[in-house]
Each structure stands twice: as C-alpha cells, then as structure tokens.
Structure 1
C-alpha cells in the first residue's frame, strides 16, 4: 500500500505565517505575554492550514495541538482536557443521530410527504424543499449532509421528472430554481438551530470561554422570528428574481405518491427513530428547565438508538464526520480558550475598540456584522472564519457598550448567513453550485442580492425581537 497523498505546498503559507509571528515576540505589543504571542502564532498557523488544507482539518489541528505541547505552552495533561469539551461531544453525537435519520429512510419519507402536500405549484415545491431542511435541521449538524444527503437527491429526481437537466437550457425549467432555493433554505435553517450547523457549536464553545452561556432554547428563541420571516420571503424573492419556466407541477404529487407506495408502510426502525428524534428535540428545548446538559441529551438519544437496534456500534465507528469534528473542534476551541485565558483576546478587543472610540455601540455592532459577513469572501471554511474572528468581534462589540447576549447572537447568526456569498462558501454551496443547474455568475449575482436581504433582516428584525423577549 502506497503513501497517502499530502499537499505539502499547503504547509508553506501556514509555516511562514506562524514563524513570522513567533519570532516577532520581542517587538510584541505591551500587555501581551510571550506565551500568549507564541500561542497566537500556533493558532493562526493552524487556522491558515485549515484554509490551505495540506491535510484534512482534523489532521492539521492535531499537528497544531502537537506543536502546542512540544513548545511547552501547555502541559500534556492539561492539553488532553481539550477532548472533554461538551460542545464537541454534542455535535459528534448529533452527527450520529443524523445518520439514523438517513439510514432508516425517515428523512426521505418526511420529504415525500411534504412534496405531496405542497407540490401543486413550483413555488410550493420550493417551500416543501425548504420544509425538509427545516424539519431535519435540529438534529443534523452537518448542513452538507442535510443538503447533499437528504434534500438534493430529491430535488434532482424532481427536476428530471419534469425534463430539467443540468448543464443545458432545460436546467431553467425547474431544476435551477429548486437548487438555489434549497441552498438558501439551508442557510436559514442553519441560523435557526444551534445544532443545525457545526460552526454553531464552535460559537457556543467560544462564547463559553468568554463567560457567555448560549442554550439550545435560547438560540432558537432568538432566531425563530427573523428566520421564519426569511423562510417565507426568500423562496418568493428567488421566484421573482430567478423564475422557473414551469410554474405548475401537478406531477410532483403523483411522483411523491408513487415513491411512498414503493417505500411501503412505515418501518419499525422509522417509528423508533421518529420517537427518539422528537424526544431529543423536546429535551433540548427543556434542558435548562430540567437542569440537564444538551450533550447528555444527545448521548441519551444515541444510547436509545443502540438499545433498539436502529444504529449499531459499526454505524457509530464508521461515522467519520462525527470523529473528525470531535478532533478539530476540541482542539480549536481549546486553543482559543488558552488565548482568552492568556489575555490576548481581551487585548485584541480593546485595541480594535480604541479605533472605534466614541462611536455608538449600535453603529459599532452593525459595522462589525457587515465586516464579518463580507470577510467570508476570503474563506472557504466557516469553521476557520468563526474560530479566527468570532471571539474578537464579540469582544469589540461588548467593549463598545453592546449588550453581551445581543452581540453574541447577532454575530452567531452572521456566521450562518455569510454563506450567501460565494459558490465555495460552505459544503452545501460546493455541492449545489457544482450540480450544473445554476451558473457561477448567476450564483454570485443572486447571492449578493440575497446577502443584502439577510443583513437587513438580521440588523433590524433580530435585535428588535430579542429586545421584545428580554434577551437584552
């Protein structure tokens, strides 16, 4: 067996960046310790490697972890506590929960029922497609798996049923519209639920290092109004901006009916999966009231699925996405926590805040959101973006006088909607943009317009709603 492929050129930029920062410690700013400066060098080099990807993200973060211990910045025993991070385990277990939804066929069945109910018109189909994403989002932290594994196969089948093929003019019949609608529905559902997007759990963990505690129900309560508003508006805006040639789709119901007949009656495994799924959502919503950790709820759900035979040990061990996230999320959050403990985040926040001195906190928060949003043109990874910028930006907003929870949640929402920038902005963008239904120029042009809509709603409706419910 040969050697695994390593893109060694991808190490060059991270190494140069890391070494430059490391060896400029003698001229570091006053108030920053040598240890903090060296930790920043390793952290930024690791983030850079997450972008250049000489190896998968789990591998480069593991290398960064090793360098951190090797340079004696953190003792090994202390470093290993990184893997006790509850947010990392929560998302790993949620990945496995999502595997059960896909494995049993429950996600596919839900999708077919929605198409049957709303599939008379093309616009109705767009809402049905979004509904699939909405229902599965709370327990599917991989938005890529949600879009690529559950929703897009149905979109593609529907499109081809109406003679809409990718990479030719027939794409505009219905395929292009549904594909782009699903992408934006995925963005909205990712912002709505704490457990609908991997970087959301990074945010929760980073916020915790800043003594900001975001719960599952708290996140949902803050997001529900702006997200539902966008969920209603966006498909209609796309319908007007990028109209499908086919407006009526009576065949969609027939197709869904036929597919449901082929699936047969609901299997026992689907019923158990549905019961565990509902129980999990209810317990996540009540976790604060009941005094239980959201991560424990996820472990309970997986234990039940193992006991009833819905999932096997082999399923868990082969869920590489879960173990991948557990490694990189644990390490990145630990590094960010060390930077905070060493005082670097506080120094950075104060430094940026001094440049905005005298400005009203409302203006500062709005400027930070806009910068944070459009900075995503420079990132192909939401994880790298969030890990690098979230904590400093929240710190700046709070230093300017912004209410802590408002600043934390506004930038958290921005971490989802910033995907509406490029065709490489996140996993779903890469999958759906490469399908051949939407041309790259169309993608960028329409995404720019919708990006403005997202910003307007989250800069106006979200803070007003959070004020009404007493979050600030």
Structure 2
C-alpha cells in the first residue's frame, strides 16, 4: 500500500506536466501546480512522514521548477511564527506552568462536573495564545490532568466512563476546537490560512485584528460548548465534594511556584502585549514570538534537548515551509486568478445573495472534512479553492476569510480523526464513535449558526462588509 501511494504521488504530477498547458496559464505556473499537487497528495496519502514527503517533492520538483522557488517558503516569516510558537509550548511543559494553571482551575471551578469542565475550557483558552499546537496544549498538557481527576473519582474508560470521564473527554475535544479560533496563534493552520488569504484575497489580518474580529463569535462558542455537551452527554457525577483535595494534591506534587514559572508567566504576558499592540509598535507577530523564544532560551526556561526532540515543531516547520513556498509561487504566477476565471466560465453567481454564497461555502468547508485526516492538509488543499470561489462570487473578503478560518478548527468535530488531538482523546476509549460523531456534528452545526448570525452581525456592525 505504501508503494502504491508513492506511485500515485509521482504519476499525478507527471500527468499534469505532460498535459497541454491550459490557455491563459504560463508553463512555469503549470509545472508549479504539478509540484503543488504532489505536495497536497503527500499530505493526504502520507506514504511516509510529512517532512520526508516534502523533501522528496522538493528534490524531484527541482527538475521542473527552480530550487529557489521551492525553498522560498522557508524564508517566510509566517513559517517562523508557527515554528517559534511551537517551541514556546515546550517551555510551558518544561517549567510545569501549564500543569499549575490547570490545577488552579480545578481548585477554582471543580465543585461540580460542569464547573470542572469550564475550568478545563478556561485553562485551554489562557494557554492558547502561545500554544499553536492544540495537540500539545489540549491533549498533552490539559487533558491528562483532568482525566486523572476523572480516574480519581472512579471513572475509567469502559463501564464507569459515563460517571464523568466521558464528559471530560468529549467536552475537552470540543473545547480545543473552539479555543483554536480565538487567537491567530492558537492553532497552527490559522496562520497558514492567513497566509493563503494574503496571497489570494489580498487581505492581511494581524494578531490583534484576528482577536477583535473573532472575539464575539468564538468566545460565545467557548462559553456555550461545555454546557451543550453537558446537556447532550450528561455525566452521572454532578458534584465533586473533594475537588479541592484533588487540586491541592496536584499542586503539592508540583511544589511552590518556581522562579522559572514566574519568569515564563512574565514573558507570556509581554508576548500578549506585543501581539496585541503590533499595529502601534510595528512589531510583527513573528518578531514577538522569536523574542519570546529567545527570552525563554536565555533564562533556560526550556531544555534545548527537548526542543531538538520536539518532532511536532520540526515536522511542521518542514511541511509548512514547503506549502507556503509553493502557494506563494502559484499566487505570483497568477494561478489562482486563472482558476477563478475557469470557475467564472462554468459557474454563475449572478443574482445570488452574497450571504447565501458565504453560507454555502461554509457548509461545504465543514462537510468536506470527512475526507481529510489532517487539519493542515485540509487548509493547504481546499482553502485555496474556497477562497478562489469566494473571490469569483465577489463576496466580502474579510468575512469569507474569517468564516472559513474558524471552520478549519471546528470542522474537525465531525470526526475523531479530523485533527491530531482527536486520536489522542478518542483513543482513551471513553467515548463510543457513534456518540463522538453525532455530538460532534451537532456542535459543528451550532458553530455554523453562531458564525453566520452572531459573527456576521458583529462584523457588519464594525464595518467589515
């Protein structure tokens, strides 16, 4: 099967290269599209690790496209923003600050099962600006702590799961996909989506702009999700009388707050200030992230050996750099303009309300997620198509970008494999696949309604369309 995937990966771009160049497109753009197709197929089929696939694509793609073009993405500041933020996550793990915040939330909100999960949501939200890997944040830092609370209450995967563990697990996944939309740096594909939007839609949304635009609909979803899951999938345990003891035990194991934790907290707050005031200070988000990482490194808040072992960071750097480079070259070659022209000759949007078109594109963006086992693969493969169709239909570009960017995260709720954090939580065995898919689809539909009503209404008020 692996060899069959490699064969497909080579034959498809070869077929494109050997095909006649379509009218209106340069031979260089057509060859770049062949390389891009190979990269997308590699992300979807994954005959090997994504980094290996990208290196193979670059190696063979250099026979038809200049190597400088194929490697151009690694000089893109967006790629370095993602990479730096991934490494910052390591500091939260190494210092123990992420765990401490989770135990604080248990101590504050753990009186009831609903309150406990709200504490889980607040923890996820507080850590999200500096942790673009929701797998590391939700699955690696937060969920294990709250799962241990469930186990301490006698709720293990299996017959006792519905006591509280199943609720914590399913809600935790929905929370992760909700907080991922609040900040630009809360989820790595957000940054890729912003880069693609800059190439195709010619709009640039900074860190603070993203937060302001997303704040109302995304925070509303964050607040609603724990309660919705509570009603749809209620735990048997409603109150937790010994929650303070559980939290105190966890905090006791961590010991007093260390100087490194305090230093990381200060750096984190400074980074938030830096990201939120970028339009005034002229400091780019990447610059702030690199300064954050540099400060953490100087103060030894993270172990460099752990940085070297952070496979997620290095893998993401490799494939993000390649995809961003390929997409940028295609945009410069006017490929997406040509694609919009092709759609224009076959599809007519005359007389259709732009809001209806936005709604249709949003629904498509969610339904198509059943075909993708990676959020990054979905964004790289399908987001350019949706943006191009929206551009052709002349819908408001910023709402188009915001609607689709948010859906890249909550669209994962429809399955247990749509994002990397899904297998982490689903694999614990607390929730049956039928329940996971059913409730996930309901929450995804809730997101669509919120963003199309509250989101669009808010964006109308502030003049985005």
What is the TM-score normalised by the length of structure 1? 0.94
1:126 aligns with 2:117: yes
Q: Is the 8 A contact 1:349 1:393 kept in 2?
A: no
Q: Could you tell me how far apart the structure 2 residues matched to 1:55 and 1:164 are? A: 38
Q: Structure 1 residue runs of 4+, over 4 Å off?
A: none
Question: Aligned match of 1:14 in 9, 17, 21?
Answer: 9
Q: How does 1:222-241 map to 2 (within 5 A)?
A: 222-241=213-232
Which runs of no fewer than 5 residues in structure 1 stay unpaired?
1-5
Aligned to 2:143, which of 145, 148, 152? Answer: 152
Cα separation, partners in 2 of 1:356 and 1:245, compared to 1, 3 Å: farther
Q: Matches of 2:188 and 2:260 in 1, distance apart? A: 26
Contact 1:356 / 1:364 at 8 angstroms: preserved in 2? no
Q: For 1:289, which of 276, 280, 287 is the aligned residue?
A: 280
2:42 counterpart of 1:45: no
Alpha-carbon RMSD: 1.6
Asked if the contact 1:115/1:128 (under 8 Å) is kept, the reply is yes
1:190: how far off? 0.6
Aligned mate of 1:357, from 342, 349, 356: 349
Structure 2 Cα separation of the partners of residues 324 and 83 of structure 1: 13
Q: 2: CA distance between counterparts of 1:152 and 1:10? A: 34
Give the counterpart of 2:98 among 107, 132, 145: 107
SS at match of 2:264: helix
Q: Does 1:275 align with 2:270?
A: no
How do residues 402-413 of structure 1 correspond to structure 2 at under 5 angstroms?
A: 402-413=395-406
Contact 1:142–1:196 under 8 Å retained in 2: yes
Q: Distance in 1 between matches of 2:160 and 2:124?
A: 25
Distance 1:468 1:242 in 2: 36
Distance 2:315 2:67 in 1: 21
Matched, 1:320 2:315: no
Supply the distance in 1 between the matched residues of 2:137 and 2:4 (Cα, whole angstroms). 32
Q: Which runs of 5+ in 2 are unaligned?
A: none
- Residue number in structure 2 paired with 1:256: 247
- The structure 1 residue matched to 2:59, chosen from 41, 66, 74, is 66
- SS at 1:420 equivalent: helix
**Per the alignment, do residues 383 and 356 of structure 1 end up closer, same or farther by CA in structure 2, a change over 3 Å counting?**
farther
- TM-superposed deviation, 1:44: 1.4
Q: Partner of 1:62: helix, strand, or coil?
A: helix
Determine the structure 2 residue equivalent to 1:3.
Answer: none
The residue that corresponds to 1:139 in the other structure is: 130
Aligned residues: 462
Give the Cα–Cα distance (whole angstroms) in 2 for the partners of residues 372 and 21 of structure 1.
Answer: 26
Note the alpha carbon deviations across 1:352-382, whole angstroms, 9 max, x for none. 3451421222211111111111111000011
Q: CA deviation at 1:397?
A: 1.4
Larger displacement relative to structure 2 (170-179 or 452-461): 452-461
1:143–1:196 CA contact under 8 A, matched in 2: yes
CA distance, structure 2, for counterparts of residue 353 and residue 227 of structure 1? 33
Aligned counterpart, 2:438: 445
Is residue 69–residue 329 contact of structure 2 (8 Å, CA) maintained in 1?
Answer: no
Q: Deviations over 1:413-471 (max 9, x none)?
A: 11111111111111111111111000111111111111111111111111111222233
8-17 or 92-101: bigger deviation: 8-17
Question: Contact conserved, 2:93 with 2:141, CA < 8 A, in 1?
Answer: yes
More deviation, 318-327/232-241: 318-327
- TM-superposed CA distance for 1:319, in Å, is 2.6
Aligned to 1:212: 203
Q: Residue 164 of structure 1 aligns to a residue in which SS?
A: coil
8 Å CA contact retained: 2:340, 2:392: yes
- In the other structure, the counterpart of 1:185 is 175
Match of 1:197 in 2: 187
Give me the whole-angstrom Cα distance separating, in 2, the residues matched to 1:219 and 1:189: 13
Contact between 1:350 and 1:396, CA under 8 Å: does it hold in 2? no
Q: Report deviation, 1:105.
A: 0.4
Q: State the Cα distance separating 1:192 from its structure 2 match.
A: 0.9
Q: What is the alpha-carbon distance in structure 1 between the residues aligned to residue 167 and residue 11 of structure 2? A: 44
Query: Contact 1:423–1:443 at 8 Å: present in 2 too?
Result: yes
CA contact (8 A) 2:411 2:444 kept: yes
* Equivalence map 1:373-452=2 (5 Å): 373-452=366-445
1:171 aligned onto 2:153: no
What displacement does 1:78 show? Answer: 4.1
Distance 2:59 2:73 in 1: 12
2:425 and 2:107 mapped to 1: Cα distance? 23
Distance 1:356 1:371, change over 3 A: farther
Query: Which residue does the alignment assign to 2:447?
Result: 454
Q: Contact 1:164 / 1:175 at 8 angstroms: preserved in 2?
A: yes
CA–CA distance in structure 1, aligned partners of residues 191 and 163 of structure 2: 38
Q: Displacement, 1:318?
A: 2.9
